[in-house]
């Protein structure tokens, strides 16, 4: 009968060790899953902002076709208000937020210049503004790719 005590002690010890490993495994899995979810949410928010800035820049490039200055101004405000950057504040690192702010501010300047001055396609001013916006957009896109690819 003396063999039962070591046998039960060994079984109890193995159960405790398995329980500890299961706890840490569960915690690790939870953190890994949260990291995946966060990257998915970032990718969705980044894609929404990239799409909305692309649409806004396309509108800006064709804004000179609108005859009425008032209508051009109202449409411009509506297009710029549609930029979807709200979720970035919760999801993006500071460097990406700064890149997004730079891109959006540049787009606002771009839109203001076009709507107020009525630049036409091919004018040097419009080309320069569009290139400046494109450069800011490339920086933001690069930050987005780096954020979504990096493990948390």
pLDDT of residue 100: 83
pLDDT of residue 142: 85
The whole-angstrom separation of Cα 56 and Cα 136 is 14
Low-confidence ranges of the chain (pLDDT < 70): 1, 63-67, 80-90, 115-116, 118-122, 150-152
pLDDT of residue 120: 66
The whole-angstrom separation of Cα 45 and Cα 30 is 22
Residue ranges per structural domain of the chain? 36-149
**Measuring CA to CA, which residue among 137, 114, 138 is closest to residue 127?**
114
Q: Could you tell me what percentage of the chain is helix, strand and coil, using 3-state DSSP and rounding each to the nearest 5?
A: 85, 0, 15
The whole-angstrom separation of Cα 136 and Cα 144 is 12
pLDDT of residue 4: 76
The CA-based diameter of the chain, rounded to the nearest angstrom, is 101
pLDDT of residue 86: 62
The whole-angstrom separation of Cα 93 and Cα 59 is 29
């Amino acid at each position: 009968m003396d063999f039962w005590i070591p046998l039960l002690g060994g079984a109890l010890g193995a159960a405790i060790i398995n329980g500890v490993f299961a706890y840490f495994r569960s915690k690790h899995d939870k953190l890994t899953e949260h990291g995946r979810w966060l990257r998915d949410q970032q990718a969705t928010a980044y894609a929404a902002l990239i799409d909305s800035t692309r649409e806004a820049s396309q509108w800006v490039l064709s804004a000179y076709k609108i005859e009425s200055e008032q209508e051009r101004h109202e449409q411009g405000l509506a297009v710029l208000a549609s930029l979807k950057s709200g979720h970035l504040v919760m999801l993006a690192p500071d460097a990406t937020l700064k890149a997004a702010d730079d891109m959006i501010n540049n787009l606002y300047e771009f839109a203001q210049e076009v709507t107020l001055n009525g630049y036409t396609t091919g004018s040097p001013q419009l080309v320069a503004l569009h290139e400046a916006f494109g450069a800011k957009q490339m920086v933001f896109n690069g930050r987005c790719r780096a954020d979504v690819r990096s493990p948390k």
